[in-house]
Structure 1
């Protein structure tokens, strides 16, 4: 089992990453703003199920890759660094939007469709798989036991962090969107803070060594 202190560090990283711009976040916010909190919660349930799908697939994949492929750890670490730098650029690139600048002209969908779109948005999002494959190995050590067990432990931790933050965002999306609309300077602060933290995580990951 992974030590609690390492899980805390991973949880912090997951916290930062879950509030970075992406299809899941934009979908949840747009539905919460245009169709209400109930629609946002149903969409969130779909997104979480998508995470669970990725976790199972990646856990089996990591177990096979880390034991069968030479230099797999370094390859995944480099992918992780590039992924974090990409997210940092996306946060501050010209004309980039705040995560709460969601479109407000979406049609209303039935609960089943809200759930399925949330699920498919996550399952078909390659960034989620890249995050798991590149980031998980940084916290996995052979002395902690089964790679699969550790992967599942990290996955469950990430899902709990993601669910908590996304739940808060769904419940407060409308109010926060209004706040950012009235205070554009805070949009820039949010973007640059996000980019700085992501670059810091990328630098830490670049200096990490194989377990």
Structure 2
């Protein structure tokens, strides 16, 4: 793997990361509903999921899942269930959140935000297909072993993705903080967050 390949991959990762997608919407929804810390933790959870996908791809598990459509369907439905749960819990807590600072959520809630971000990323079959279809374009023969190349490219994607997503999470949390003294607006923002989670769930179910 030469430097030109690494640079080309890094540029592609920047483009992919800045284009709004399901992961970014998930981060924005959490930043708006729970503040800056939650937004950053959601971004960290997504990056953790990408790291797990990278290791799985290096071990050949991505291609194995692609060859078993039923397994991908199970992953897809599990992801939709997680997102519906987040939509319902966010909607139910809309009244409470409007009355308190988003940064004052307990460690248990923030920990749950991180874990849900990890699970949401892991349960998205399109991420698996992305690894199967996109990464091989940047693999080279000779030199490093293919699993090592997967890990290096995955590390680059994780670093760039977290830099972009973390910034988005902080920005969404800052918007939430600015509107803290307007409970009615905050309630609507939480309803918007719940709608985003529900929309992502529907997308996972119907988008094949």
Normalising by the smaller structure, the TM-score range is 0.5 to 0.7
Structure 2 counterparts to residues 148-187 of structure 1, below 5 A:
148-173=147-172
Alpha-carbon contact 1:23-1:125 (below 8 Å) kept:
no
Query: Residues 32 and 174 of structure 1 are in contact (CA less than 8 Å); yes or no, is this contact kept in structure 2?
Result: yes
Aligned to 1:132: 131
Question: After the TM superposition, which residues 17-166 of structure 1 pair with which residues of structure 2 at under 5 Å, given as runs?
Answer: 17-61=16-60, 106=91, 107=93, 110-166=109-165
Equivalent residue number for residue 11 of structure 1:
10
Tell me, what secondary structure is at the counterpart of 1:145? coil
Runs of at least 5 residues in structure 1 that lack an aligned partner in the other structure: 66-104, 179-211
d(CA) in 1 for partners of 2:131, 2:114: 22
- Mapped partners of 1:111, 1:48: distance in 2: 16
TM-score, structure 2 as length reference: 0.59
What is the CA-CA distance between 1:61 and the residue it aligns to? 0.8
Q: Secondary structure at the match of 1:157?
A: helix
TM-superposed deviation, 1:22: 2.5
* Separation of aligned partners in 2, 1:147 and 1:62: 14
How many angstroms apart in 2 are the aligned matches of 1:156 and 1:35?
28
Aligned residues: 139
Q: CA deviation at 1:116?
A: 1.3
How does the TM-score come out when normalised to structure 1? Answer: 0.59
In the aligned structure 1, how far is the partner of 2:29 from the partner of 2:166? 14
Change (3 A) 1:18 1:125: same
Displacement after TM superposition at 1:171 (Å): 1.6
In structure 2, what is the equivalent of residue 101 of structure 1? none
**CA shift in 2, pair 1:123/1:142, >3 Å:** same
1:82-132 CA-to-partner distances (Å, cap 9, x unmatched) read: xxxxxxxxxxxxxxxxxxxxxxx7546711210111011100011111111
Structure 1: how far apart are the matches of 2:10 and 2:40?
A: 22
Is the 1:48–1:159 Cα contact (8 Å) retained in structure 2?
yes
Q: Where does the alignment leave 5 or more consecutive residues of structure 2 unmatched?
A: 65-89, 98-104, 179-208
CA distance in 1, matches of 2:50, 2:63: 20
RMSD across aligned C-alpha pairs, in angstroms?
A: 2.7
Show CA shifts across 1:51-80 (max 9, x none).
111011011118988xxxxxxxxxxxxxxx
